[in-house]
Structure 1
Amino acid sequence: MNHDKNNKGLGMSSSKANPIDKVSVYVAAGLVSGAGALLLNVLPLLFGALAEKFGLGENQLGNLALAMNLGFGLLGLASLLWVRRVSWRLIAALSSLLVIAMVLYVVSEPTFESLFVIMALAGAGTGALYALAMTIFGDSAQPERAFGFKLGLETVPGATLLVLLPVAVMPVWGFHGMLLTIALAMLLTGIAPLLWVPARSARVVEASRASGQASAARRPIVWLSLVASLVFLTGIMAVWAFLELIGKKTGLSGDTIGAVLAVGFIINAGGGFMASSIGLKAGRFVPLAVIILAQLAGLVLLAQFGSFATYVIGAVLFLFSINFVLAYTFGIMAEFDVSGKLVALGALCLSAGAAFGPAISGLLIEQFGYTAAFIFSGACSVLALIAYGAAVLRSQQLLRREQDAGGLVLSRL
């Protein structure tokens, strides 16, 4: 399935400079997106510290994760109502302040019931930030490149904290130092860059000019890409949640596994930047298919439980694919979302995948072993590729119909 580069003009006009497609906006909005993903990215360290500080068990930690993901997903869904009506800078500032307030409130050592509410509200704040970033980058005239950059840059704050917290912060300042560092990171990524984030979208005017028929023709492409994103993330989270345990089954120490995952996290960012650099030079479908095949090879290597080398190579191939694939699924979604609203549902895909993937995988592991979890993850990737391929095919058909219609109009003039 080769993508016609003329398709680039569908859904957004590129006749004038796009205010989103500036390096300063990319960097600023990418940091805001990093703020939205920050708690999810440092969750293993945060939950480990909470378990030690408050004596929480696995079931209680699972409930806290559920609360955070519910808050994240519900605010991502609710953003459809206000993300195009309220100042983007105001949304980012208020959402960041909510997360900072909730993180700092943990310093007071609240009860578990209060922690549950705190995690739900913190998740809501990060969900609003992530939905906002999805909307901002969705306004790009080159969405695949924009989302590749976004997904790459948003990983950097989390990866930085994963290195700094256990090495430089917690040994010296302990639990409270960790919370203060997370709050400071939210301030630097969610609020400090806002001067370079546009206050509002320029796409609303363009979307209002689109006919209802044109919008209806594009909508199936958007929903197919959303399905592809959700299914892919579910499969990813099904394995990501157990990567540490998989490493231990290979015979590796906790320190070694932590180092591998930290490097893998950085490689994950590289996948997003590579997708940004490739863009549509090789079409839409071929790059994604190649990366999905590489990811499947990584799953096979992880399933061997054989050695340090197979674990490292498998983890690298697996983690590299995440941001690369999402850059393309989110990209086609943004390009054909005439209203500019549905792209914000990418935040809901993330929270739903994080909620359902580990739950399904855990059940499969208990019943059938780790092999079943790898098969499930691989099947999700294949299904996501099929849904994405259907979206690409439909976009090509739509382009041809519009070109034929345009030619027919010209012939009558």
Structure 2
Amino acid sequence: MKKVLLTAMALLTIASASAFGMYGDRDSWIDFLVHGNQFRARMDQLGFTLGNGTIKGTFGFRSQAATTYLGNILSGSTGAIDLTTTISAGIGYTSEPFGIGVGYNYTHVHDRLGVHTPVLMINALNNNLRIAVPIQVAVSGDPYNNAANYPYNSQGDKDYVGVSTDIQLRYYTGIDAFNAIRVYFKFGHAVYKNEVPNIVKTDYIAQSVGFETRFYFLNTTVGNVGINPFLKVAFNTSLKGKGKNNQVRAGEVINNGYFHDSYTATGVAGSYKEEWEKSPYDVTVQAVLGITANSDIVSLYVEPSLGYKADYAGQARYISTYNGNTDTRKDPDPKIEHKLAWGAYTELYIRPTQDLEWYFEMDVNNSGTKQNVGVNPETGEKISNGVPVYFETTTGITWYLPSFDGAQ
């Protein structure tokens, strides 16, 4: 029985790396409906999933690197402690032919800004088809604390609205030659205003769209090792303004990335606007080899990858109108940057008994995101050490609990 459980765990790991993350990240709800009862406590998360064979619920916390300082869930000074984390809760109905669930996340960015994320999950075809649709929404009258700098609110940024989504679909075919496909669709839109009454009014905007597909094939065993290669193709582009990594997400600060959508000054018969002549984009094509090995106690999953990435910074144009005359100028057209994309991802599971597990995760890659040493607690902006290699890791325990109806 123990070997059966370990093998099932290994297969699930191949199908879904990082599947056991606490719900609260953008794409972690996709496997909620197939998870059994468990309690998790890791460096960045704390929570549980409980229920019977039909109804289940979850509640937990997850620290968010984009909104916390050095990964603390609780931070602040004497007399002022903030809960800088994502709180998640959800409920689901499961059966063999069909499952449905709803979830909700609240991410505390700072005292004036939070991100609300309702999530819809649907499973079908014996859980072989899984869909998760999260919608992130953030609204703030004073997102960058301008009220503190301008106590009479006579000027400064205000009326921020951000909407984004990270829709995910997974389908497991049951055929080793082509065993799974994943599709991700991403869209983001954010606007805010800067206004000095009776002097100037500016509307800022940023918008992006992207997708990613993963094709899993040749799921087989070589000796005592299971292998499951897959091909990843990803594309992101900024439609208006320029999001971080060409992705606009609700609640995230975009440094100098917003475009002037309109600019008007009192007493001046004119306006100013920024657009893309050629939109920026990044495209990645990467071959990944998923490798699994397990014994009665230890299960190991490693994922080396190698591929190609192209980055294009975009060419902007600036349109100004004054007294009926229109002037347009353009930035120089930059060259496309070609890069080698590589990575090494690892998950380690140690289960001395079938009910208790120690988990370790590590990832290192040259994705272009520089390693961060902290986050500015006021703006949410990451503080980088300048090293162009991204390294992350987490560890902790998972305690698998019996179902309320007695099922194992």
- More helix per residue: 1
Bigger RCO (CA 8 Å, 6+ sep): 1
TM range (shorter): under 0.3
TM value normalised by structure 1: 0.22
- More strand per residue: 2
